Each structure stands twice: as C-alpha cells, then as structure tokens.
C-alpha cells in the first residue's frame, strides 16, 4: 500500500490532495499537526468525506512533526478526533497507558482510548522515530511494540549501507510479525521506501511536499517505480553511487520494464561501501546494477569476470549476475560511440579534442583510439592528461591552451562536470572558437543546454547532448539486465 501523508492546513486542502493522488494511493495519513487549530476541531469528520482508509496522526515536534502543544493538550485533541471513522490511529511508543484515559461527558468514568479504538475495530499503530541512527536493538524494539497486537511502526535514520542491511533483515528476522511498518528516513533510506515490501513493511509513505526526509511523490512511487507492484518474483536492479539521486537511469529502465511486461524494478542505492552493497545484493538477490561515481573502479575486486573494455578503461559501469558470479562490463564505451558511429565508419571523424581527463573521459578516449581517431586531451591538470595520453597514445595539453586547437579537429568532446550545478554558468573552454564544421559532443545531460552547448549550437555545429549517450548506454544495460532489446516505442524523459 502507498500511503499519502496529507500536509494541508485545511481539510479541504487535504481532500484535494487525496483527489489529485487517488489513482496511486491505497490510504492516506491525516496529520493533525499540520492543520489550523479551527480545522483540528472538525477533523473527526474527515474520513467520511473521502473514499479510502485514513490513518490519524498528531505528531510532536520531537518526532518530526509540527505540534508544539503540551502533551496533555495534544493527546486530548487526538482523543476527540479519534471518534471519527478512522481505520488507524498512530500513538507514539513512549505514551503511557495512564495518559490515554480521558474524561468524557458521555461516560461516568474515564474512557481508555486504546480500548475504545480496539472495541470499534480501529487498528493502533505504535510508532518509534529515531532521527539519529538505526538503534542496535531495533529487532527487539519492533517485537516489543507488536507484543500487544498493535502495528509496530519504526522510522529510523540509516547512515550507512550496513544500516540498510539491518533494515532489510527485518523481513527474515521478524517474519512472524505480519503487520509492521518499517521506514528508513533520509538519503540512505530511499531504497527502503521503494523496496518496502522487501523489508516486510505493509505500507510506505509518500507526499507531494516531502513531509518527511526521503519522501517521494505518490505518482513517482507508483508510475515510475511501480513500488506497490513489487512481489516475491520481482527482479531487483539498481544503480549505485555517491551521490546517486541526480541519476536519470530509473527513467530509462523502469518504463522499459513496464513496456515489455517484465516484472522488475530499478532502484537508486546511495552506497558508501561497495563491500557492504555486495552483501545486500546477495541478500536481496539483485540481478544486476549500474555503477556511477565514485565506484566504477571500486567494484572490480568483487567481479568474477570483466570485459576487454573494462580492462582497458579501468572502469566498470554495469554489473550482472552470470552463472553465479558477477560480470563487469562498460556500456559507456559503446553508448558514446552510437551517435557518431556512421561518421567514424565513413572516416568523417579522424581527429578529436577531448576536454577533461577524469573518469568519464577514459571511456571516450579509449573508444576513439580503438577506432583510429587521433586524440588530443586537454585538462586543467597536465599530469592527469599525460597519464591518460600515455595509456592511449594520444596527445595532451592544458586547458589554458584550448584556443590553439580552434578549427583543427573534426570532433570536440566535453567530458567535465562544468556546466552542471553548481557550475551551470561556466564554460570549460571559453576561448576555444567553433568554426561550425565540428561535431560537438557534450556528456553533461542536466541541464540539457550548457553555455558550452549553446555556444556550439550558435556557431552552427552539429551538437550531441549527454542524454543521447545516457540513453544509448542505458539501452545496452537494459539488454544485459533483462535479455530483451529496449522497446523502440519508448522515449524516456531524460
């Protein structure tokens, strides 16, 4: 189930949020702490105005909410609101039983909120929030929360891949607890939100406004990732990196899987330790994954086989399971060549200027070298340019001398991150003059048009953007992952 957290300040706003997201969600969470005081007074009526189950929550500031009332006032409002037709009521783990007994003018003695909810068939969620870490005793704490028959909800903050392993182990360690909610908050935890069923969680939360750290929108969760469709037979693929959430690769693979009716999901994993990720990959039976910076070299000691391109380039961007071992390939090599393959085969590209000597440039220089193109590498660090040039029998120079190469090459390839945030207003070679006859190829794909890209376009050059290479290498990864050609009728938004 996908649960939409409602963060409107009025009930009407929240009804609109439900309506806008209705196609993707199974239930919603009404957050009293986001409502105006006047709206809180009539919030008990909310469940009867929408057509799906509602969780009632009144979250304290210390638990990531917005409520600053005294505990007595907060619980009194929760009690009054809970008289509505809610399917679930969320009560924090440290709230004492004595604090949940209230005077009610309709009854001669105090009313026990927990008992009254159970008598009405309302499920109680007992929640624990930890914004600092994943507690060492997390399995014991989940068991304790579930001991009274309530639904344990544990929202914790993983800080490493080892913490993520602990969260995914909940499924096997506590399989006897059928109904539970497990959430990894923050950047490391996003994979647990997408693969919530693999954690044994009955639902995951989403919102239009990132109501909690790591929230994605309901539409992204359901349409792009199909997280709510994951089952025991779903093949898990992904991309590892640090950072990783800038990647557009999920927009290539997930629509491709859906188009060919292939039961699979492609998930971004923020990885601080490659060694730990390979442990997780075995645990989740991950079938393959893409690799981005800084792990393209780090994964190689864990691979049973690597291709010639990986050996040459010294970088692996694709890992697949083959005969019970991990195989490493590099689709950047062929993805780069695809848009210029005809020009190379017809010898229209004989000379190339490659800007940058970092990880991205290695696949470019090797691909051009192996196809007989004479390459000159320009880089800020001359030593780094020299090292790559020596490997590939190329020429090299500093970026400061870029103007000397104007009107002298068939192809200019920009491989640096200049043009991306936070350098989006900069040009890596401002003194290089385009003649208009060059083919210009920029590996940056976000934003689509950098200052370098615009200047080449204005000069009349044929300009190839980074999204073309990204898509071409992604199609090759898709084939390696699924065994099928990428569906030709899909045009991903990257």
- Residues catalogued as catalytic: 296
Residue 118 in tokens = 């159970």
Residue 257 has, within 13 A of its CA and on its CB side, a CA count of 28
Give DSSP secondary structure letters for 45-79.
GGGGGSSS-EEEE--BGGGTS-B-S-HHHHHHHHH
Smallest CA-to-CA distance from 193 within 169, 175, 167 is with 167
Question: Which 8-state DSSP code applies to residue 221?
Answer: I
Beta pairing, strands 411-414 & 439-442: parallel
Smallest CA-to-CA distance from 46 within 90, 102, 8, 1 is with: 8
CA distance 144 to 19: 37
Q: Are 193 and 183 in contact (CB under 8 A)?
A: yes
C-alpha–C-alpha distance, residues 179 and 91, integer Å: 16
**Alpha carbons 432 and 423: distance in angstroms, whole number:** 18
Would you give the distance in Å from CA 82 to the centre of its chain?
35
Do the Cβ atoms of 58 and 127 come closer than 8 Å? no
Cis peptide before 243 (omega within 30 of 0): yes
Strand partners, 154: 128, 182
Burial class (CB in 10 A: 0-12, 13-18, 19+), 379: buried
How distant, in Å, are the alpha carbons of 265, 311, 396, 452 from that of 393? 42, 16, 10, 27
């Amino acid at each position: 189930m996908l649960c939409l957290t409602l963060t409107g300040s009025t009930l009407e706003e929240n009804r609109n949020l439900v309506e806008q997201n209705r196609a993707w969600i199974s239930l919603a969470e009404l957050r009293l702490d986001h409502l105006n005081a006047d709206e809180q007074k009539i919030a008990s009526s909310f469940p009867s105005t929408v057509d799906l189950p509602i969780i009632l929550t009144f979250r304290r500031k210390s638990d990531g909410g917005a409520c600053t009332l005294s505990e007595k006032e907060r619980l009194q409002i929760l009690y009054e609101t809970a008289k509505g037709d809610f399917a679930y009521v969320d009560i924090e783990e440290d709230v004492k039983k004595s604090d949940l007994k209230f005077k009610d003018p309709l009854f001669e003695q105090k009313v026990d909120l927990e008992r009254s909810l159970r008598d009405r068939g309302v499920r109680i969620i007992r929640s624990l929030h930890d914004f600092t870490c994943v507690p060492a005793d997390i399995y014991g704490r989940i068991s304790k929360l579930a001991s009274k028959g309530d639904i344990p909800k544990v929202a914790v903050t993983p800080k490493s891949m080892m913490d993520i392993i602990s969260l995914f182990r909940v499924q096997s360690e506590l399989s006897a607890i059928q109904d539970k909610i497990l959430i990894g908050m923050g950047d490391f935890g996003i994979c647990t939100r997408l693969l919530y069923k693999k954690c044994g969680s009955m639902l995951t939360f989403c919102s239009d406004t990132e109501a909690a750290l790591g929230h994605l929108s309901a539409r992204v969760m359901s349409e792009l990732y199909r997280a709510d469709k994951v089952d025991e037979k779903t093949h898990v693929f992904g991309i590892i990196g640090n950072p990783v959430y800038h990647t557009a690769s999920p927009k290539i693979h997930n629509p491709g899987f859906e188009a060919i009716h292939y039961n699979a999901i492609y998930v971004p994993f923020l990885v601080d330790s490659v060694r730990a990720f390979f442990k997780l990959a075995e645990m989740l039976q991950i079938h393959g994954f893409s690799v981005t910076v800084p792990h393209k070299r780090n994964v190689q000691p864990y691979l049973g086989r690597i291709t010639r391109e990986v050996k040459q380039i010294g970088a692996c961007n694709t890992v697949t399971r083959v005969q019970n071992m991990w195989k490493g390939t590099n689709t950047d090599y062929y993805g780069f060549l695809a848009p210029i393959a005809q020009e190379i085969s017809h010898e229209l590209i004989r000379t190339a200027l490659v800007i940058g000597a970092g990880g991205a440039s290695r696949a470019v220089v090797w691909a051009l070298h192996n196809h007989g193109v004479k390459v000159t590498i320009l880089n800020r660090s001359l030593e780094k340019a020299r090292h790559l040039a020596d490997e590939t029998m190329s020429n090299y120079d500093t970026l400061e001398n870029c103007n000397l190469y104007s009107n002298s090459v068939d192809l200019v390839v920009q491989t640096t991150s200049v043009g991306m945030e936070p350098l989006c207003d900069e040009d890596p070679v401002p003194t290089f003059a385009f003649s208009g006859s060059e083919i210009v190829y920029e590996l940056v794909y976000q934003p689509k048009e950098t200052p370098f890209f615009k200047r080449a376009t204005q000069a009349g050059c044929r300009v190839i953007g980074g999204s073309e290479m990204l898509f071409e290498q992604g199609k090759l990864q898709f084939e390696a992952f699924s065994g099928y050609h990428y569906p030709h009728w899909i045009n991903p938004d990257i």
